Amino acid sequence: MDSLLFYGVMLYSVLPNIYFRFFSKNVMRCISCKGEEVAITFDDGPDPRYTPQLLDVLKEHDIKATFFVLGEKAEKNPEIIKRMVQEGHVIGLHANRHIGAPFRSYRGMKKDFKRSLEVLRGLGIKVHFYRPPWGLVSVISNRFIKEYGFKPILWSIHASDWSKYVDEKHIERVLVDKVKAGDIVLLHDGRGAEGAPQRTINALHLALPKLKEKGFKFVVPTKDLPYST
């Protein structure tokens, strides 16, 4: 029985995740770019406490970003979703509820995809891009990714900005010192430790001007071109 469970877990999630994270040619992990292009992405919002502040910062610096949103939060904050679209940001799907694919049944996964897409379509959003919670997939979630025709986007660098052990200075240092051309940067505008998104916002106030001084150009994905200005 133990060996059957082991092989079941390997086939259901472990092996699909290894392939998804490192080998699948359909998954974007960085940008094929010209010049000094980078992509800033945010997960787990929208959050009415933080996302409007974040949008203010991005607008101040004329930067477009990609938001992988949670359906249940989008449903509660339609005005924030509307503002994202109006200001030229791209909206991708994260999930309806933030639960990792390895912990979901077929029925639960199907319901989550269906509900989140109903919410976003109700807000006038047609979704092309997808990032799974924690970057984790399963045999079942891979099936729905393919069925809905999503382009999965992961990341090449993050600042652990969700953690209670990280302060805004650390986030700023990662962004300024470690981001390089072609990076997809993972940050968060929701969830995480208490007040974590505020630290991210504070760090961006300082880091974005420095990144622009270095000559970086900020890009977002489009339906036909994975990333473009």
| Catalytic annotation, residues | 43, 188
The CA distance from 57 to 59, in Å, is 5
Q: Which residue has the tokens 């319901």?
A: 111
Instruction: Extract the tokens encoding 16.
Output: 């699909």
Q: Which residue has the tokens 């393919």?
A: 146
- Give the residue from 152, 154, 156 showing the smallest Cα distance to 141: 152
With beta carbons less than 8 A apart as the criterion, state whether 104 and 141 touch: yes
Bridge partners of 66? 41, 90
The CA distance from 68 to 18, in Å, is 22
Alpha carbon separation from 130 to 165, 186, 187 (Å, rounded): 28, 13, 15
Give rounded-to-5 percent helix, strand, coil for the chain: 45, 15, 40
* Three-state secondary structure call for residue 215: coil
At residue 88, φ and ψ (nearest 5 deg) are 90, 15
Instruction: Tell me the chain's radius of gyration from C-alpha atoms.
Output: 17
Q: State CA 196 to chain mean position distance.
A: 16
The CA distance from 7 to 219, in Å, is 41
